[in-house]
Amino acid sequence: MNTVVDRELLQRHLQVAARGVSTRSSIQVLAGIQLTARDGELHLAATDMELSVRTRLAAEVTTEGVVVAPGKLLVDIVRHLGGDTVRLTLADGRLVIESDGSTYELNTFDAADFPQLPPTGGGLFSLDRDAFLDTVQAVSRAASTDESRPVLTGVKVQVTSERLTMVATDSYRLSVRDTAITTDLPETVDAIVPARALDELARIADASPAASIAVGVEAGQVLFGVDETWVTARRIEGQFPNHQQLIPQSFEHEAIIDRADLLDVVGRTRLMAQRNSPLKLHFTAGQLTVSASTQDVGAAEESMPIKYDGEELTIGFNADYLRDGVNSINDDTVTLQLINPLRPGLLKGEDGHLLYLIMPVRLPE
């Protein structure tokens, strides 16, 4: 391999590819980024066997070749180089990196050990980028990080010709976002996609000027394309909870609250909700009082005006889960619907397209 690339361009693309590098696997090659120089381009790829990221950039290729170099170290080196261009050369099993008088040599992994990544063509449809980003950012926080229940670490994604629906739950909270879109899909597409893959894709798409995202759903994987970058995720198999059955059909109490004010109050009072202590929400006519206390730490209490004319009610919620729910709503006000202190509450925005169900925490007598 012998190729010259623009340093800033290489740095940006390496940072994208590095999102697929494994940080936990005992398989050494998965900690690397594969560099392939061919046909006037430098192709970068990384995978942890569940998520793979591929991207490419223009290059002056003198000699074609393939090498797998330690991902994190390669990113750090290129970021600190000072020249306008970088020459990459494979010599005696080492990747030589040269720029503006600087020379680095990296030991490499055996390129033959790098996994063969699935193809990126065929059966694709397009999604509006902004609609996709808004939907992911609204629901992904509610996905579980507990690997003992793999299906809950994913987001259920359903796409029709007119709707994009995503659902996530960790069994303590559930988030549903329904977004109007237009696609040329002849039939409904369903898949459970790892939340981490959607989050990584959202970061990549957020930095891209592209107006749409290409999507392909196959038997064992889901493929997403943004400009010259492709993200492939393993589909999660299993039965995802029926969210429609989990959301109560009716509620006894309803409060309409200024979103920004509620977010500020929750953000401050949660500082005193340590060691899993809950936030206590006390509703009276026209007022909400939010309080928290932790033994040997201290206590906090704040009151704010709200629209509420129901019976006096006190309920407890996990502070972080409540903050995430309020944060996922972009409207000026949020509506909180309640049944009683032992039943879940439902947060929703003004248009009703986002539903955030949150389980209560039993408060001490």
The structure tokens listed for 360 are 């209560």
Q: What is the pLDDT of residues 275-284, one digit of tens each?
A: 999 999 999 9
Confidence of residue 184 (pLDDT cuts 50, 70, 90): confident
All residues at 6 or more sequence positions from 158 whose CB lies less than 8 Å from its CB, including other chains = 164, 165, 166, 167, 188, 189, 190
Q: Indicate yes or no: pTM above 0.85.
A: yes
Our CA angle for 318, 360, 320, nearest 5°, is: 15
- Domains belonging to the chain, first-starting first, are 2-113 (3.10.150.10), 124-162+182-240 (3.10.150.10), 247-358 (3.10.150.10)
Q: pLDDT tens, 205-253?
A: 998 899 999 999 988 899 999 999 999 999 999 999 999 999 999 999 9
The closest of 252, 233, 217 to 340, measured between CA atoms, is: 252
